[in-house]
Amino acid sequence: MRKPIIVGNWKMNKTCAETVAFIEAIEPVLHDGATFGVGAPFTALKDATATAKNLVIAAENCHYKDNGAYTGEVSVPMLQELGVTHVIIGHSERRQMFNENDEELNLKVKRLIEAEMTPIFCIGETEAQYDAGETENVIRTQLAAGLKDLCPKCVAKMVIAYEPIWAIGTGKSATKEIAQNCCHIVRDQIRVMYGDEAADSVRVQYGGSVKPENIKEYMACEDIDGALIGGASLKVDSFTKIIEAVK
Ligand code: 13P
């Protein structure tokens, strides 16, 4: 019922030339079993959309205003002009290193929905919060604030990525039980906020040290509809293995 969605998050990696070479190599291995995409740096997006045929191209951030005195920022219409369809919002690196807060993330999500683009909204707890048993509360609080005042039909079309910060880039992936339990909490919070249709349609990804060796066990979980993948999305070889594993 929910089509899986696997997205690589390249972060601050890949030049335009590297982007084109990667997409040319990946396109032939894509299949209909899932939606596949990559989040590329702003500088590579134009080449990425020009090269991609079936690969979805995502930006890794956007501003919620359309234009103005916001040095260094990129707006939603600017991304739309390039053929970008998805935008990663609120990644923990943006929350932690660039002080993005739930209120501005909510404005970004709203602007993307207005533009009929797909937000990939990221949430997840720190290691200290995990150790203190605060995971569920963090998940529910981030969703309540970041996704407030949206329409249920819009929420149904979005993607939410649950990424425990302690599992990002650490090689220490969450067990499938933890990942499933947390993605279930995500879906339940959407049910509380927006009802059954939104909850049953929204796609929930797990992210954090996903690799060819563990993708299948996450994908077998009832509430996990895909993955947001950092390190293992950077090499054609490992991303290909992930794509083939979800056939
Ligand atoms: P890793 O897959 O490298 O742990 O990164 C996860 C991530 O941050 C994806 O957004």
pLDDT tens by residue, 88-107? 999 999 999 999 999 999 99
For residue 244, which of 212, 214, 218 has the smallest C-alpha distance? Answer: 212
Strands (E), 10-149: 35-39, 56-59, 86-89, 118-123
Catalytic residue set: 91, 163
∠ CA 75-77-79, nearest 5°, is 75
Whether residue 139 has pLDDT greater than 90? yes
Please give the C-alpha separations between residue 157 and each of 111, 153, 165, in angstroms, as whole numbers.
Answer: 14, 7, 25
Q: What is the number of the ligand 1 atom nearest to the C-alpha of 167? A: 4
User: Average pLDDT of the chain?
Assistant: 98
Confidence of residue 28 (pLDDT cuts 50, 70, 90): very high
Amino acid 37 reads: G
Instruction: Measure 92 CA to ligand 1 centroid, in angstroms.
Output: 10
Q: What is the number of the ligand 1 atom nearest to the C-alpha of 209? A: 4
Residue to mutate (ligand 1; options 5, 97, 229; most atoms within 8 A of CB): 229
Tell me the mean pLDDT in the region 228-244. Answer: 98
Whether residue 171 has pLDDT greater than 90? no
pLDDT digits (tens, 9 = 90+) for 37-83: 999 999 999 999 999 999 999 999 999 999 999 999 999 999 999 99
Tell me the mean pLDDT in the region 122-148. Answer: 98
Write down the pLDDT at residue 56: 98
Phi/psi of residue 211, each to 5°? -145, 175
For 158, counting Cβ atoms within 10 Å of its Cβ (0-12 exposed, 13-18 middle, 19+ buried), the class is buried
The pTM score is: 0.98
Instruction: Measure 88 CA to ligand 1 centroid, in angstroms.
Output: 12
Q: Which position has the higher pLDDT, 247 or 233?
A: 233
Half-sphere exposure of 90 (CA within 13 A, CB side): 29
Percent of the chain with pLDDT over 90: 98
Whether residue 153 has pLDDT greater than 90? yes
Instruction: Measure 158 CA to ligand 1 centroid, in angstroms.
Output: 19
Residue 121 in contact with residue 161, Cβ under 8 Å?
yes
